[in-house]
Amino acid sequence: MYNHFEYGKYLAGKLIDITEAFDASSQSDPQSMDEKITRINGGVFVSVDSKDGMINYSGSECMSLGSAYVFLVLFPVASGNSEAEKQVLEKAKAIAKQIVKKMMLDFESNLSGLEELDPSSFEIHGVGPLGECHHGVAIVFEVGDSFGFKLDPTMWRD
């Protein structure tokens, strides 16, 4: 089973340009996250766990509850320096591509709970400023949880 926060800590610990990492929930207070990011001077990796999900049916014998997950890769930039913002965005995109490649390798090898990763769900979006001056990318993807059609009789009245 996929554990987003555990996997995020693993990735952050392996990435050379990341100096600090932390977890956040989609229900977290945005101001609290901004305060954490603002205090960090180097590369930041944030694992954001969404509690929302969407049921997908592919015409097979089971369905899956797909949950959206996000990794943020951010770097500080001096306020108003648009050239530095472009450079940081390119750096963050390059790291994001490496993260997607690593996730696909783990998916193909059935590692890290990524067996239910939807490879067609990856999106990379530019973000920022977050905190006072951090810019970078959000990597969005879905990991499902398959389930069959058999009803649990203990949950139904006769």
Per-domain residue ranges of the chain:
4-147
Per-residue confidence (pLDDT) for residue 31, from 0 to 100: 63
Q: Which of 47, 39, 41 is nearest to 72 (CA)?
A: 47
Burial (0-12, 13-18, 19+ Cβ within 10 Å), 127: middle
> Is the model's pLDDT at 133 over the cut of 70?
yes
Q: If you ran DSSP here, which 8-state letter would residue 46 be given? A: E
Which value, to the nearest 10 degrees, does the dihedral of the CA atoms of residues 102, 15, 86, 134 take?
A: 120
Q: Quickly tell me which residue has 């990318």 as its tokens.
A: 137
- Going by their DSSP bridges, the two strands 43-57 and 18-25 should be labelled as parallel
Q: What is the mean pLDDT of residues 90-95?
A: 97
Give me the pLDDT at residue 68, please: 84
Domain 4-147 CATH assignment equals 3.30.2000: yes
Per-residue pLDDT of 27-77, as tens digits, reads 555 567 778 888 888 999 999 886 555 555 555 555 555 578 999 999 999
Report pLDDT for 47. Answer: 93
**pTM for the full model?**
0.82
